Amino acid sequence: MKAHGTPKRWIDPKAARFRMQIGRSRLHRYGVFALEDIPAARRVVEYTGKQLNLEQAATLRSPRDIYVAWIHGGVHVDGRRGGSGAEFMNHSCAPNLVARRVGGRLYFYSRRNIRAGEELTWNYRYPIKLQRVPCRCGAARCRGTLRYVVR
Give the CATH number, domain containing residue 86. Answer: 2.170.270.10
pLDDT of residue 60: 60
Q: What is the pLDDT of residue 87?
A: 87
Radius of gyration of the chain (CA): 15
Q: Are 86 and 15 in contact (CB under 8 A)?
A: yes
CA angle 104-109-33, nearest 5°?
115
Q: Is residue 60 part of a domain?
A: yes
Global pTM value:
0.78
Please report whether residue 128 resides in a domain.
Answer: no
Residue 41 lies in a domain: yes
Beta-carbon count within 10 A of 89 CB:
30
Task: Give the end-to-end CA distance of the chain in Å, rounded to a whole number.
Answer: 38
78: domain range? 3-122
What's the pLDDT score for residue 8? 63
pLDDT in tens, the chain (151 residues): 444 455 666 788 999 999 999 999 999 889 999 999 999 999 999 988 877 766 666 666 554 445 666 666 666 677 677 788 888 999 899 999 999 988 888 899 999 999 999 999 988 776 555 556 778 888 998 878 775 554 4
Does residue 81 contact residue 40 with C-beta atoms inside 8 Å?
no
- Whether residue 9 lies inside any domain: the answer is yes
Residue 139 belongs to some domain of the structure = no
Task: For residue 35, tell me if it sits in a domain.
Answer: yes
Q: Structural domain tally of the chain?
A: 1
Residue 38 within any structural domain of the chain:
yes
Q: Name which of 34, 36, 31, 68 is nearest 49 in CA terms.
A: 68
